Amino acid sequence: MDRERILSLLMALSQGKVTTSEVYEELKELPFKDLQFARLDSHRSLRQGAPEVIYCPGKTVEQIIAIATQLKNGHKIVVGTKAEEKVGRMIEESMPDSKYHLQARMLIWGELPESPADNPRVGIISAGTADGPVAEEAYLYLAASAVATERISDVGVAGLHRLLDVLNVLRRCDVLIVIAGMDGVLPSVVGGLVEAPVIAVPTSVGYGANFEGLSALLTMLNSCAAGLTVVNIDNGFGAAAAALRILSTIKSAKPASSLPVK
């Protein structure tokens, strides 16, 4: 159950549009619902303010549908990650309000919200075209969270002038998600050029000795640009979730003008 649903229930109760029994019936599912094969955390969006997510691998189509059906009762939007195309297409056919995004391997139930113009922006920067699926996963989760994004692709360090050409765009963003495979150097370069928090995402893109993204991961963990946050290999969703946490801190911070002057 999300914050908007809780507030609308309380408003309806205060206006006499629903009874206390009806409100109780909805709220009694908090904080989780036992489906036997899964215990759904229906309280997460209240605690964290982000859309609920279903990790699809390892689950049957029937299980994913059952989980999504329950979550949709209290959430305007639900997200499924890492869904194979066959699974995604089957769920699309079974649930008309779902949409499968092939590149990101992501399922979304509900309409993507409009991003308010005054939302802090997240820059999503990818080194090469092959990193696109991970960038798309990050983008879609941020879009589901009504966060405005700036997307820049194919600015890897093999042609550094391409990155420098968009440096002014990067410096306008409040948080940067930087995605790279191969040698994984791009986040370190970006981290040395901007003030904003940088979230580095290694991808499994690369030739044989990249060890399916391990070489990029180790490069990012050993970055000489201090303060980088590094998420797991191909984890665009995790990077977007980290960006949301940073943005929530930015929003709740007091403006400099309100601080006492000594």
Residue-level pLDDT at 2: 59
Angstrom CA distances, 130 to 41, 84, 127, 158, 207, stand at 34, 18, 8, 14, 12
pLDDT tops 70 at residue 47: no
pLDDT at 173: 93
Peptide bond before 260: cis, by omega within 30 degrees of 0? no
Listed in order, the ranges of the chain carrying CATH 3.40.50.1970 are 122-251
CATH top-level class of 122-251: alpha beta
151: helix, strand or coil = strand
Contacts for 63 with CB less than 8 Å, ≥ 6 apart:
37, 38
Instruction: Grade residue 170 by pLDDT with cuts at 50, 70 and 90.
Output: very high
pTM of the model: 0.81
Q: Is the pLDDT of residue 106 over 60?
A: yes
* Percentage, residues of the chain above pLDDT 70: 81
DSSP state of 30: -
What is each CA distance from 151 to 155, 184, 242, in whole angstroms? 11, 18, 17
**Statement: residue 257 has pLDDT above 50:** no
* Average pLDDT for 79-93: 94
Q: How many Cβ atoms are within 10 Å of 9's Cβ, its own excluded? A: 18
User: pLDDT band at residue 201, thresholds of 50, 70 and 90?
Assistant: very high
